[in-house]
């Protein structure tokens, strides 16, 4: 493996600020099940989103080297001490690779473009943004480090915060997890899908219907752990790796019928794992199923290529080609809004990953 341990600072940096905007992502082939330290049991692939993002600014100020990481956290302008333990745990995990964080006090300002606790995972975009800010400091400390190395390291660090965050650094398609069909793939970090993608997948649309904004009853950490001793675990990991091979071909050839079948099956299989774990649990809500049935009905009676996918929650992601934007948005507005909490939905599309702002 590439050595991600920071070797030496060639410059002194007393005070600096870095800011990054990093997107959320939606998996097409899902990651569900891991081993320490946050290594996936199978390879996964996602579309990087664009509008759903986190903006984070970190102010660094040099201090006497400490044994603890020093930071304050502001979320949407307000001090948020209740968010600190999760970030502290993240810093603790990565300080081996970024020992320089012990030389600074950090003030972190963060905000999300999507409503707080909307059920859209903010951990992927949030962890990716912090990772990018640290990597910018690292580049200042050692300008000789190459951009490719630093991009890989950003994904590596983000992964240690939240597995799926490894897929939020680049875009529009990122694979995380070693897979024989994907050149350069690794369990340690995400890589851009390395082949030419069919134009039908350019600027692919993802409309997220907010079905339930409540706190999830079961966190994804607990869900991942329930894949240990799960009766279908081995078959599932094998199936996901097989699906990654299939989608690698589909993305190059542009066969939308195959894309739809694979993506919807992946979504339902993810939830099937939850239904069949011990203890079992259900994250879908009645309106999740109402929407799925409406989508199937609409597809049967039109020539539309819409399909759905699900994250670890009740919200439904509707995926469709850019060319169908008008018709699908009309369908959503007339048929699906009534199933959304407070009629809320967010239209997004594929994007290119982290950017400064
Ligand atoms: O990154 P985590 O630990 O929150 O896990 C995310 C798992 C899913 O969102 C359900 C699937 C995926 O691959 O993103």
Contact call for residues 153 and 218 (beta carbons, < 8 A): no
157 contacts 135 by C-beta, under 8 angstroms: yes
Q: Which of 259, 11, 258, 265 is nearest to 273 (CA)?
A: 265
DSSP sequence for 280-322: ------HHHHHHHHHHHHHHHHS----EEEE-SSS-EEEEE-G
Q: Is the CB of 161 under 6 A from ligand 1?
A: no
Count of structural domains within the chain: 1
| Ligand 1 closest atom vs CA 32 | 7
Which of ligand 1's atoms lies nearest the C-alpha of 38? 3
**Distance between CA atoms of residues 83 and 76, nearest Å:** 12
> What whole-number distance in Å separates Cα of residue 224 and Cα of residue 293?
28
Please tell me if the CB atom of residue 312 comes closer than 6 angstroms to any atom of ligand 1. yes
**Ligand 1 in reach of 166 Cβ (< 6 A):** no
Taking CA atoms only, the protein residue closest to ligand 1 atom 9 is 311
Ligand 1: nearest atom to the Cα of 25: 14
Q: Are 225 and 206 in contact (CB under 8 A)?
A: no
Does the CB atom of residue 42 touch ligand 1 within 6 A?
A: no
Classify strands 34-35 and 39-40 as parallel, antiparallel or unpaired: antiparallel
Alpha helices in the chain, H assignment, sequence order: 84-94, 123-141, 147-161, 220-225, 233-253, 256-275, 286-301, 325-331
Contact between residue 222 and residue 283 where contact means Cβ atoms under 8 Å apart: no
Write the CB contacts of 242 (distance below 8 Å, at least 6 apart in sequence).
none
Let me know: does 182 contact 175? Beta carbons within 8 Å: yes
Cβ atoms 109, 56 nearer than 8 A: yes
CA 347 to centroid of ligand 1, rounded, Å = 20
How many CB atoms within 10 Å of residue 302? 13
CATH of the domain at 348: 3.30.230.10
Entry pTM: 0.97
Q: 227: CA distance to ligand 1 center in Å?
A: 13
Is 79 strand, coil or helix? strand
Distance CA 199, CA 47 (A): 14
Cβ–ligand 1 distance for 170 under 6 Å, the answer: no
Q: Is 47's C-beta closer than 6 angstroms to any atom of ligand 1?
A: no
Domain boundaries, position 262 = 1-357
52, 86, 121: residue to mutate for ligand 1 pocket, most atoms within 8 A of CB? 121
pLDDT given at position 120: 77
If one residue of 32, 165, 268 were mutated to test the ligand 1 pocket, choosing by the most ligand atoms within 8 A of its CB, it would be 32
Cα 223 from Cα 312, distance rounded (Å)? 9
Gap from CA of 275 to ligand 1 centroid (Å): 17
Question: In this structure, how many other beta carbons lie within 10 angstroms of the beta carbon of residue 198?
Answer: 15
Pair type for strands 173-176 and 104-112: unpaired
Q: Which residues pair with 34 in a beta bridge?
A: 40
Spatial distance between the Cα atoms of 17 and 107, rounded to a whole number of angstroms: 9
Is the distance from the beta carbon of residue 30 to the nearest atom of ligand 1 less than 6 Å? yes
Task: Flag residues of the chain having pLDDT under 50.
Answer: none
């Amino acid at each position: 493996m590439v050595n991600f341990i920071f070797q030496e600072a060639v410059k002194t940096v007393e005070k600096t600020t870095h800011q990054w905007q990093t997107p959320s992502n939606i998996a097409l082939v899902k990651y569900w099940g891991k081993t320490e330290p946050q290594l996936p049991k199978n390879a996964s692939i996602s579309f990087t989103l664009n509008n759903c993002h986190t903006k984070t600014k970190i102010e660094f100020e040099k201090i006497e080297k400490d044994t603890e990481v020093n930071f304050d956290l502001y979320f949407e302008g307000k001090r948020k001490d209740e968010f600190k333990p999760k970030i502290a745990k993240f810093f603790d995990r990565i300080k081996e690779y970024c020992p320089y964080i012990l030389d600074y006090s950090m003030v972190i300002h963060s905000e999300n473009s999507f409503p707080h606790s909307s059920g859209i995972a903010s951990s992927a975009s949030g962890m990716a943004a912090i990772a990018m800010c640290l990597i910018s400091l690292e580049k200042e400390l050692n300008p000789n480090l190459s951009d490719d190395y630093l991009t890989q390291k950003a994904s590596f660090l983000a992964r240690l915060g939240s597995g799926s965050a490894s897929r939020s650094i680049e875009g529009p398609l990122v694979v995380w997890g070693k897979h024989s069909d994907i050149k350069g793939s690794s369990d340690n970090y995400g890589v851009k899908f390395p082949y030419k993608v069919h134009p039908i997948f350019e600027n692919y649309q993802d409309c997220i219907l907010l079905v339930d904004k409540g706190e999830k009853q079961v966190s994804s950490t607990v869900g991942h752990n329930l894949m240990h001793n799960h009766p279908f675990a081995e078959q599932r990991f094998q199936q996901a790796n097989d699906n990654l091979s299939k989608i690698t071909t589909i993305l190059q050839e542009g066969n939308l019928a195959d894309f739809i079948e694979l993506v919807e099956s992946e979504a339902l299989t993810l939830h099937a794992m939850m239904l069949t774990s011990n203890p079992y649990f259900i994250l879908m809500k009645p309106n999740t199923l109402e929407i799925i049935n409406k989508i199937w009905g609409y597809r049967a009676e039109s020539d539309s290529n819409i399909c759905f996918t699900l994250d670890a929650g009740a919200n439904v992601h509707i995926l469709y080609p850019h060319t169908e934007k008008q018709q699908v948005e009309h369908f959503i507005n007339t048929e699906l809004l009534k199933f959304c909490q407070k009629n809320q939905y967010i239209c997004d599309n594929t994007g290119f990953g982290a950017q400064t702002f």
